[in-house]
Chains A and B, each alone.
Chain A
Amino acid sequence: MVMIAAVITEERVRELLQNVKDPEVPAISVLELGVVRNVEVKDDSVLVTITPTYTGCPAMDVMRQDIEKELHDAGITNVRVQQVLSPAWTTDWITTEGKAKLLAYGIAPPEHTTDIRALKGELPVVECPLCGSKNTGMISLFGSTACKALWKCNACLEPFDQFKCL
């Protein structure tokens, strides 16, 4: 006998999406990263709309599969994940909790795009996620993944990733 466990609600889907992590930064979920733009529930079908962080981000296909798998495992079979490009993703969509989790994971979170320095094209002041010092410097604009820059701390001498402002 097939049983439908419970009525699917948007709330329930969002709860499940909280379990789907960014495969390249497994500290935060796709919700906290701000790539989930919309969740639409119609009867027993779910449509999740996601947007890529970077155009060529190789994690997008994995996120799509992970979202489908998470919802399938919870008994939701009619799932569609669609990708939209516009409006373009910005690091401002990373939630406050997401930024705190990045920091705890050892990645300096991005500054806000309205930061006056970003407008002038100057480097932001980035606190070392390990020791908290502001005496840091950028080594390279490009880090371990497309979304990160490589920094070093002059106080504790450790290198660290910074989530680039986009």
Chain B
Amino acid sequence: MTQQEALFQYCLRRGDDTLLLAQRLGEWCGHGPQLEEDIALTNIALDLIGQSRNYLTYAGEVEGKGRDEDHLAYHRNERQFVNVKLAEQPNGDYAHVIARCFLYDAYHLPLQEALAKSADAQLAAIAGKAVKEVTYHLRHSSEWLIRMGDGTEESHQRAQKAIDELWTYTGELFATDEVDAILVKAGIAPDMAAIKAQWDIKVNAVLQEATLTRPADGFMATGGRQGKHTEYLGFMLAELQYMQRAFPGAQW
């Protein structure tokens, strides 16, 4: 694998994670438990779509085969998406939404902070902007997880259940392969062990304040980065890609 191929994959992974998470959060538009949260989730989704557009645009440029952000988002099949499985998990109740956001945000922030210092100028520029936005995302999801965990018996129980059920999808966030190895060596991507250490500190602190128990590391789901997904992704893409599949190349 060349460095160019690795960089293409790396950008695709960042772009797919944020695209699918944004799509999930967008499903809450008009359905939030209160108006402020409805607005918050869709604002976060908007930030994530913006970041996804930057990463996918750059992925297309690095690849050099003339694929743009829309082509990559709308004309790839399920097996060609390389997002983590956590990003495609269904919304469930509000505790699930917040738990999924939190587990991802706590990984997303230190990753973007590290990428802002990347040897690749464009990655550094994209991440430099994203850091500011993701800081707000993590604050939002942390505060809500604490409020629910340290809230009523019912909210505590639901928050704990959500964390327990999603925990199996967190291992994949830190899994590395040849793509990471090549880019770490070139100073383009950060060492994931360092990101994991920061994630652990944040997750432990927030879970403790939320009076929630950190689940034991058991079986961890893998495969998303290799295009092997849970059954949910296909349904998401059916909705996300409908227009371009029905009318290929349509523009307005």
Contacts and interface: CB of A to CB of B under 8 A. Distances in A.
Interface stretch (A32-40, A126-134, A141-149): A141-149
Contacts of B139: 121, 141
Contacts of B136: 141-142, 164
A89 to B, nearest CB: 8
Nearest to A147: B43
A150 B37 CA distance: 11
B86 interface: no
B47 A141 contact: no
Contacts of A84: 125
A58 B46 CA distance: 9
B62 to A, nearest CB: 16
B50 A57 contact: yes
B140 A54 contact: no
Interface stretch (B88-96, B100-108, B127-135, B224-232): B127-135
A55 B132 CA distance: 10
Given A54-B133, A56-B46, A56-B51, A141 B140 contact: yes
A150 B36 contact: yes
A86 interface: yes
Contacts of A164: 136
A166 interface: yes
A16 interface: no
A52 interface: yes
A30 B131 CA distance: 23
User: Chain A: interface secondary structure?
Assistant: loop
Contacts of A156: none
Interface in B36-74: 36-37, 39-40, 43-44, 46-51, 53-54
B126 interface: yes
A85 interface: yes
B39 A142 contact: yes
B50 A166 contact: no
B43 A142 contact: yes
A94 to B, nearest CB: 15
Interface residues of B, number: 28
A141 B39 CA distance: 10
A87 B124 CA distance: 10
A85 B130 CA distance: 10
A88 B134 CA distance: 14
Given A55-B54, A142-B43, A146-B47, A85 B128 contact: yes
A96 interface: no
A140 interface: yes
B44 A55 contact: no
Nearest to B50: A56
A58 B54 CA distance: 14
B128 A86 contact: yes
B47 A140 contact: no
A54 B49 CA distance: 11
A47 interface: no
A140 B50 contact: no
Contacts of A140: 36-37, 39-40
Interface string A103-136: 0000000000000000001000000000000000
Contact of B48 (A56, A57, A87): A56
Contacts of B48: 56
Contact of B132 (A58, A121, A141, A166): A166
Nearest to B124: A86
8 contacts: A54-B47, A55-B130, A55-B133, A56-B46, A86-B128, A140-B36, A142-B44, A146-B46
Closest 3 CB pairs of A and B: A56-B50, A55-B50, A86-B125
Given A54-B133, A84-B125, 13 more contacts: A54-B46, A54-B50, A55-B51, A56-B53, A85-B54, A86-B121, A86-B124, A86-B125, A87-B128, A88-B132, A140-B37, A141-B136, A141-B139
